[in-house]
Structure 1
Amino acid sequence: MEDEYEWPTVTCDYSGWTHVPACDKKRVHEFAAMFLPRFYYVIFSLSLLGNGLVLFVVIKFERIRTVTNIFLLNLVGSNLILTFGLPFWAMYHQDGWTFGLPLCKLVGTANYVSFYSSVLFLTLLTIDRYLAVVHALAVSQHRKSCYAVVASGCVWLICGLAGVGPLLRYNVELDWEDTTKTLCTEKRDPSWKALDTYLHFAAFFLLPLVVVVYCYVRIIVTVLSTQINNKHRTLRIIFVILLLFFTCWTPYNIVQLVDHKMSLDCNDSIVYAGYVTHNITVLYFCINPVFYTFLGRKFQNYARTLVVGYAPCLKNHLSVAANSRSLSYRSPPSL
């Protein structure tokens, strides 16, 4: 009888290994459930009011088929896409995701597309103002509405393609901390996460930021070299626009880069920073058309006209220009 073969014994020493527990995000989720729903409902109301007012004023008083108004209306539409998703996220942070997989993918992707398109439409509005102020004579015959329509179509195409990735990645799964709830989460492939993060950082933050800063610096130089009245007021408006764009959009992108670098760490501070900066960005994109329109005297006069029209008793307290309906963006833009 042949001797049975004896398999070699391998001994592993696990004494130097450290047990790494799963990240406990209970406190972070409790913070989100307490704070975010109220915040989203408030922003939803403010956004509907602000964007609705801008939309109503442009349609009532302005010629829609001008370059600036085409970009402005697309910006309002982009922000409303983000706005209509806020109630879903508010209920999600309260009770988990109860709307099924199709809405999870749709609302999650719409969040990305709205962010990206808002940034690009703000950039196009800035370029339009730059051309109208710095190169007013050279481009006056070339600022046609057809170009604005084509540019807007390109923006939606680019943002739609950028949203294909999130559309494929969003999924519904059980919450391992509370199996009675389901989550709508975006799962990224680690091998593609770095490329995706850096590509979006460059295309939708760094490039628009450089363009916006360059255009407004040139506008400032042009305004200072002319005999325009109220130069200081114009410069203050430009400063406010730049400050809002930089302070509201920059922190979110920086946190995204840091989160990519520390994705394997159980760092609650990064999660909290992500929540805070994301919601500052949501607030900015939902109400930025108000800043970009009603900082100008023309739109302020439109607002006074509306108030006086619906409340004649305030006529003696509000000054309204007699030719408010005749103003349009074909005249040099009132920054």
Structure 2
Amino acid sequence: MSDDDDEQYRLFQELFNSTYDTSDPTYVVSENVQLCIKTSVNQFGAKFIPVFYYVNFLLSYLGNGLVLCIIYKYERLNTVTNIFLLNLVLSNFLFAASLPFWATYHLSDWIFGTALCKLVSSAYFIGFYSSILFLTLMTFDRYLAVVHAVAAAKSRKRLYAIVASVSVWFVSIAASVKELVLRNVWKDNLSGWMCEESGYAESTMERFRLVSYYQQFLLFFLLPLFMVMYCYISITVRILSTRMKEKCRSIKLIFVIIATFFVCWTPYNVVILLRAIQISVTREEDKPCSDSLDYALYVTRNIAYLYCCISPVFYTFVGKKFQSHFKRLISKKIPCLKGHMSFSSQSTRSTSQRTPHSAYEY
């Protein structure tokens, strides 16, 4: 063996020893790897979430069904207000129909197959998003009817209501397409069959989640909140500038609507924003293993869902006209209560909005 061969062999030996010498303390990893197993959160979800979902499901179908019944029996179905209200009821039916599936999922695992995983997830988000947008659209329609009554009388036609409703459904479906594409069923060794977003690398899925969080916060909370605030403040100013006997009642009603919307929706969306910020600014290995946001998400999400389910009842039965319709319906079903109820003299088929206050009588 030549001197050059000896030198190359010696260099190889040094390189080999320096690469694989595990006795060198600089190559020893002394950090503990923290496994973030959220058993308590999962147990909380399995115990309480199904109850919330079933309660929301029952309240939604009872309340929305009652609104639908009253509209059918006592109202004209082709007015602008009732077209929006019918679409809101439909969106809540669609959203609530998914809740029993998610309740069963929280109790055990996903037992309904891949097709229903995609369809139920899509229906869930389409109903949820469209419900928020239809509530905002109804608020904007009230604003037009009160603040711009003369101009609105010409523009608030059936075609306007249909085009606006179709636009809401289009936006809601477009925002939910990723659920149809990304949702898949796969088996986890610990949790069983899962209906979750999958199919791409974790970094890609994390970006999708970020888009969903910011979409939820900006498009389906911040924008509707600003619109609701602007519309009802404008309506309040308009009502205060008129001479109406029931001015005080109208202002109180506006305050209740704004306060309820804000109280029910803000906590959930703040948690959504915090989760998005946590994903955005924290490296994977530095993410805290904390249950606080998970518990907060469970609680605040169900408050928002409850409001979403009962919103048609809230938005209609605070008005005198729908209260009168409800009394008529009850008196027909339970005649013995008829003598204890007073009825409004307003025509049950009236749809005119001649004063700002009349916008709160449907």
SS at match of 1:185: strand
Cα displacement string for residues 122-142 of structure 1 (whole angstroms, at most 9, x for unaligned residues) = 111001100111111222121
Alignment partner of 1:334 is 2:360: yes
In 2, the alpha carbon distance for the partners of 1:248 and 1:152 equals: 24
Q: CA deviation at 1:14?
A: 4.9
CA RMSD of aligned residues (A): 1.9
Does residue 1:242 correspond to 2:241, yes or no? no
Residue in 2 aligned with 1:144?
157
Partner in structure 2 of residue 102 of structure 1 = 115
Q: Distance in 1 between matches of 2:217 and 2:338?
A: 49
- Point out the structure with max Rg over C-alpha: 2
Structure 1's 323 and 208: CA in aligned 2 closer, same or farther, altered over 3 A? Answer: closer
Could you say which structure has the higher helix fraction? 2
Counterparts of 1:251 and 1:111 in 2: how far apart (Å)? Answer: 20
Match for residue 155 of structure 1? Answer: 168
Alpha-carbon distance in 1 for matches of 2:29, 2:352: 71
Q: Distance in 1 between matches of 2:352 and 2:90?
A: 20
**Which residue pairs with 2:235 in the alignment?**
219
TM-score by length of 1: 0.93
CA distance in 2, matches of 1:35, 1:150: 40
- Percent identity of the aligned residues? 48
In the TM superposition, residue 110 of structure 1 has moved relative to its aligned partner by 1.9
Instruction: Give matches, 1:112-127, under 5 Å.
Output: 112-127=125-140
Which residue number corresponds to residue 182 of structure 1? Answer: 193
Which is further off, 288-297 or 260-269?
A: 260-269
CA contact (8 A) 2:321 2:348 kept: no
Deviation of 1:199 (Å): 3.5
**1:303 to 2:326 alignment:** yes
Quick one: structure 1 residues 21 and 171, their matched pair in 2 at CA, closer, same or farther if it must change by over 3 Å? farther
Matched, 1:262 2:251: no
What's the secondary structure of 2:194's corresponding residue? strand
Distance of aligned partners of 1:177 and 1:14 in 2 relative to their CA distance in 1, 3 Å threshold? farther
Sort the Cα spacing of 1:228 and 1:15 in 2 relative to 1 into closer, same or farther, 3 A. Answer: farther
Partner of 2:186, secondary structure, is strand
**1:172 Cα deviation after fit:** 2.0
SS of the aligned residue for 1:163 comes to helix
Which of 88, 91, 103 is residue 104 of structure 2 equivalent to?
91
Aligned: 1:70 with 2:86:
no
Which residue of 34, 55, 64 maps to 2:47? 34
Q: Which moved more, 1:257-266 or 1:242-251?
A: 257-266
CA contact (8 A) 2:214 2:276 kept: no
Does the 8 Å contact 2:76/2:349 carry over to 1?
A: no
Contact 2:74 2:325 in 1 (8 A): yes
TM-score, structure 2 normalization: 0.86
Change in Cα spacing, 1:195 to 1:48, as seen in structure 2 (3 Å) is: closer
Checking the alignment, whether the CA contact within 8 Å between 1:72 and 1:289 is kept in structure 2 is yes
Structure-2 separation of matches of 1:192 and 1:61: 46
> How far has the Cα of 1:266 moved from its partner?
1.7
What secondary structure sits across from 1:237 in the alignment? helix
Aligned to 1:165: 178
Instruction: Give structure 1 stretches of 5+ with no counterpart.
Output: none
Q: CA offsets, 1:52-74, max 9 Å, x none? A: 00011111111111111111111
